[in-house]
Chains A and B, each alone.
Chain A
Amino acid sequence: MTSPREAVMDKAFEKRVERREIPTFLVLLLLLLLVLMGMVLPKGARSLVTHMMIFCILAMGYDVCFGLTNQCSLGHAVFFGGGAYGAVLSILHLKVGLVPSLFFSLGAGFILAVIMGLVCVRLSEAYFVIITAIFFAVFHLFAMDLTWLTGGDDGLSLKLPSLSIGSVNLSLYNPAANYYFVLIFLIISYLLLNRMSRSPIGKIFISIRENEKRLQFLGYDVFRYKLIAFIVSGVFSALSGGLYALTLRYGSADFFSFHWSIMPIVWCLIGGLGTLAGPWIGVFIMSVFQYYVSAWWTYYLILFGIIILVILRISCKGILGYLISRRFT
């Protein structure tokens, strides 16, 4: 229940702060569509969509960090890779089931995010970007070097345990099962993050983005909230990494590579910062782009660089941010 006073405050907040939200029912409709699509999609497209859904979780996780609290991190590959290895290693060495292995990847993401957050979040913007990048680079070096643990570039392949719900036995080797497995996590992640971004803490996050100094003067512990956002972001990135490793059925040092740091930024910038579901558009565009152009031209990363420059030049709000601002002004 919101008291009348809170309602007034909410209205004031809405007026002051640029809203970048997508109506929840639209996203739910899209998710419903995904549920139905799982039944009719041809094989190739279904695996592509499965990958996209995993990336969507990463993109949303990143959006909490960059879109909501304006912390541009280049270190999310650490969480992605950490999550992937959390799942892979726990299945290989501890012989846990599928869902528990994802808890291990969440735990890995949480620990890594706490360590990194405690060092980085306090710093100013320039230091933050550089030091997250350094963190990423050092973890990448380690992942390549510690071959006894990570398998290095060759990676570790794994045999998936089957998932038993009641008396039904599901195996992720079945692509359709894999699709719905990922989709369930996407739905849960979206509902959780959407709830969070609309709750009081989400408002604090947005206020940090809009005016950090002012929030400090109002008596909020900005460091704490930025750290919380950073950790939430890290945990969801790790979940995405874990799902990706399970879907591909292997983990390699490649999961720590720069690709996984820069892609979330591109997705968020294309789709729209701070809209949670907006980056899904970015994921869709970039995945299709990569899928087709990389087959056609080896040096497609040139185009990729140009796209980054162009998007930054046009608008930081992305496609959805642009549409929303058109609608409300």
Chain B
Amino acid sequence: MPEIVNTILFLLVNGLIWGLIVALIAVGLSLIFGVMGIVNMAHGDIYMAGAVLSFYVAGILGNFWLSLVLVPAIVLLVSAPMERYVLRPYEGHHSSTMIATVGISFILQQIVLGTYGGIPKKIVNPWPVSFNFLGVDYPGYRVLVAFISILILTGLWFFLYKTSYGILVRASMQDREMAAAMGIDVNKVLITTFAVGSILAALGGVLAAPINQVFYLMGNDVILLSFIVVIIGGLGSLKGTLIAALSLCSLEGVLASVLSPVQARAAIFMVMIVVLIRRPRGLFSE
């Protein structure tokens, strides 16, 4: 098989796996926007917090895998009161939520800068196995990441579409006032949704930590990509977000073989502009 096909295939798979992580983050973002109307600028920083926390868990407890359980627990404890006491008054006013979450983002970044430091660090690969994939050694950890992300996304789908609580969440997403009128405890639903969205972002951070470098500004890059994904998929549409994440990230991965990373990002950006001009509410919005 010619070299070039191999390279492109390799980049495509890389892009798809990164796409799965971005999908976790972007679905969380989309879910939070869909239910509460919060444009969450701090979402990337929760991703960053997930990565940083997993660094500490791996360092202190000596086992990286524990962070898949511990980090969501910590994020749950932080994000639930954050939604209830900080963000609740602004919900539904998109601009205000955006400004407020920028404030939260500053606070999170500076706390991490103060405690963790400003130097990028690397986590050792927790599963140093490599598969032979079309004649190229492919790191096993990335395959595992893809597997775990699919598992989490399936779990989320199951939660939203197969459990009775998921129906409540979807009902609040469609019409919050009506849902409240029907006797749904919207307060609880809002807190749960925000926590679930944040946990998804944090898990994305945990999974990405051994692949990327852990850095206090690592969220900025991701929040940009997830916003583009969410916009193209259609704000509040989970299916669209998932499809857009996978296709955009694999596209960016393949483009990175011929263009520089910034040019590849610019190409994605142009795709977004074209989509927006043709369909101002995204591709999959209802």
Beta-carbon contact of B110 and A301 below 8 Å: yes
Would you give the shortest CB distance from B173 to chain A, in whole angstroms? 14
Which A304-328 residues sit within 8 Å CB-CB of chain B? 304-309, 312-313, 316
Beta-carbon contact of A308 and B103 below 8 Å: yes
Kindly state whether residue A72 has any CB partner on chain B within 8 Å.
yes
Count of interface residues, chain B, beta-carbon cutoff 8 Å: 42
Complex Cα gap A114–B16 (Å): 36
Interface residue SS majority, chain A: helix
Kindly state whether residue B89 has any CB partner on chain A within 8 Å.
yes
Beta-carbon contact of A127 and B280 below 8 Å: yes
Scoring A residues 279 to 320 as 1 if CB is less than 8 Å from chain B, else 0, what string do you get? 000000000000000000011011011111100110010000
Residues of B within 8 A of A308 (CB): 99-100, 102-103, 106
Count of interface residues, chain A, beta-carbon cutoff 8 Å: 38
Kindly state whether residue A269 has any CB partner on chain B within 8 Å.
yes
Task: State which of B105, B266, B276 has its C-beta within 8 Å of the C-beta of A123.
Answer: B276
* B96 to chain A: closest residue by CB: A312
Task: State which of B102, B262, B273 has its C-beta within 8 Å of the C-beta of A145.
Answer: B262
Complex Cα gap A59–B128 (Å): 53
Task: Pick from B95, B114, B262 the residue with the most CB of A within 10 Å.
Answer: B95
* Known contacts A123-B280, A141-B265, A301-B106; A134 and B228 CB within 8 A of each other: yes
Kindly state whether residue B86 has any CB partner on chain A within 8 Å.
yes
Would you give the shortest CB distance from B118 to chain A, in whole angstroms? 10
Residues of B within 8 A of A302 (CB): 106-107, 110-111
Kindly state whether residue A187 has any CB partner on chain B within 8 Å.
no
Residues of B within 8 A of A312 (CB): 90, 96, 99-100, 103
A-B CB contacts (within 8 Å), total count: 105
Task: State which of B98, B113, B231, B277 has its C-beta within 8 Å of the C-beta of A299.
Answer: B113
Complex Cα gap A122–B273 (Å): 13
Kindly state whether residue A27 has any CB partner on chain B within 8 Å.
no
Interface hit among B3-11, B33-41, B47-55: B33-41
Beta-carbon contact of A134 and B106 below 8 Å: no
Which B172-210 residues sit within 8 Å CB-CB of chain A? none
Beta-carbon contact of B280 and A122 below 8 Å: yes
Would you give the shortest CB distance from B228 to chain A, in whole angstroms? 6
Beta-carbon contact of B100 and A126 below 8 Å: no
Kindly state whether residue A265 has any CB partner on chain B within 8 Å.
yes
Beta-carbon contact of A306 and B262 below 8 Å: no
Scoring B residues 83 to 102 as 1 if CB is less than 8 Å from chain A, else 0, what string do you get? 00010011000111011101
Which A42-89 residues sit within 8 Å CB-CB of chain B? 66, 70, 72, 74
Beta-carbon contact of B269 and A299 below 8 Å: no
Beta-carbon contact of B231 and A127 below 8 Å: yes
Complex Cα gap A133–B100 (Å): 15
Which A222-263 residues sit within 8 Å CB-CB of chain B? 262
* B105 to chain A: closest residue by CB: A305
Kindly state whether residue A142 has any CB partner on chain B within 8 Å.
yes
Complex Cα gap A313–B103 (Å): 12
Task: Pick from B96, B99, B105, B235 the residue with the most CB of A within 10 Å.
Answer: B99
Kindly state whether residue B164 has any CB partner on chain A within 8 Å.
no
Kindly state whether residue A138 has any CB partner on chain B within 8 Å.
yes
Kindly state whether residue B272 has any CB partner on chain A within 8 Å.
yes
Task: State which of B95, B103, B230, B280 has its C-beta within 8 Å of the C-beta of A72.
Answer: B95
* Known contacts A299-B113, A313-B89; A119 and B39 CB within 8 A of each other: no
Would you give the shortest CB distance from B11 to chain A, in whole angstroms? 20
Task: Pick from A70, A262, A298 the residue with the most CB of B within 10 Å.
Answer: A262
* B114 to chain A: closest residue by CB: A299
Further contacts, 16 of them, CB under 8 A, given A299-B110, A308-B99: A72-B94, A74-B98, A119-B273, A127-B280, A130-B98, A133-B98, A134-B228, A134-B269, A137-B220, A138-B265, A138-B266, A262-B102, A269-B99, A302-B106, A304-B106, A312-B90
Using CB atoms and an 8 Å cutoff, list the residues of chain B in contact with chain A: 33, 37, 39, 41, 86, 89-90, 94-96, 98-100, 102-107, 109-111, 113-114, 220, 224, 227-228, 230-231, 235, 260, 262, 265-266, 269, 272-273, 276-277, 280-281
4 A-B pairs with least C-beta separation: A308-B103, A72-B95, A305-B106, A305-B107
Q: Provide a sorted-by-A list of 21 A–B residue pairs whose CB atoms are within 8 angstroms.
A: A72-B94, A72-B98, A72-B99, A119-B273, A122-B280, A123-B276, A124-B281, A126-B94, A127-B276, A127-B281, A129-B95, A130-B231, A134-B269, A138-B269, A302-B107, A304-B106, A305-B103, A305-B106, A306-B103, A308-B102, A312-B103
